[in-house]
């Protein structure tokens, strides 16, 4: 089995070509959780709820169900493919203040698991691998 590198549980600094990926709201009110960390440490901008900002990337998670988050995750995965010299550290997007479970959000990042420059939380990786194993055994 492949060895995966996970997103560290507590990120307080980044290297030059590293990006902190966090859950936000469409209004860009980054008041708590990872969004607050993104503002304090990694250049996230109040009022910008989507995309690259400083050394961070916002994925909106507060606007509805999981299906409303998927297009933003897909956009992130496309950017990560293009920016292949950058390492992206995905936090447990949507699993804090937004109130989703890891089991609900992790499958959205299935395609990101195979990108060498994207790090996912360990919980997301385990869920994705279990889902893949279940699909293969059908």
Per-residue pLDDT of the chain (138 residues; tens, 9 = 90+): 577 899 999 999 999 999 999 999 999 999 999 999 999 999 999 999 999 999 999 999 999 999 999 999 999 999 999 999 999 999 999 999 999 999 999 999 999 999 999 999 999 999 999 999 999 988
Pairing of the two strands 118-119 and 18-24: unpaired
In a domain, 1, yes or no: no
CB-CB contact of 86 with 19 (8 Å): yes
Cβ atoms < 10 Å from Cβ of 64: 9
In a domain, 126, yes or no: yes
Q: Which domain holds residue 97?
A: 18-136
d(CA 136, CA 58): 33
Tell me 41's DSSP state.
Answer: H
d(CA 56, CA 43): 6
CB-CB contact of 70 with 97 (8 Å): no
pTM of the model: 0.96
d(CA 3, CA 95): 24
Q: Return the pLDDT at 82.
A: 97
d(CA 114, CA 95): 22
Could you report the per-residue pLDDT of 106-131, keeping only the tens digit for each?
999 999 999 999 999 999 999 999 99
Overall domain count for the chain = 1
In a domain, 34, yes or no: yes
Q: What is the CATH number of the domain that holds 74?
A: 3.40.220.10
In a domain, 13, yes or no: no
């Amino acid at each position: 089995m492949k060895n995966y590198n996970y997103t560290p549980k507590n990120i307080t600094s980044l290297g030059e070509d590293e990006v902190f990926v966090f859950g936000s709201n469409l209004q860009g009110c980054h008041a708590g959780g990872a969004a607050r960390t993104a503002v304090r440490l990694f250049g996230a901008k109040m009022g910008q709820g989507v995309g690259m900002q400083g050394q961070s990337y916002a994925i909106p998670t507060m606007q509805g169900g999981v299906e409303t988050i998927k297009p933003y995750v897909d956009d992130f995965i496309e950017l990560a493919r293009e920016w292949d010299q950058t390492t992206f550290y995905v936090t447990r997007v949507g699993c804090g203040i937004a109130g989703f479970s890891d089991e609900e959000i992790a499958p959205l990042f299935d395609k990101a698991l195979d990108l060498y420059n994207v790090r996912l939380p360990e919980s997301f990786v385990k869920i994705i691998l279990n889902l893949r194993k279940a699909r293969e055994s059908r």
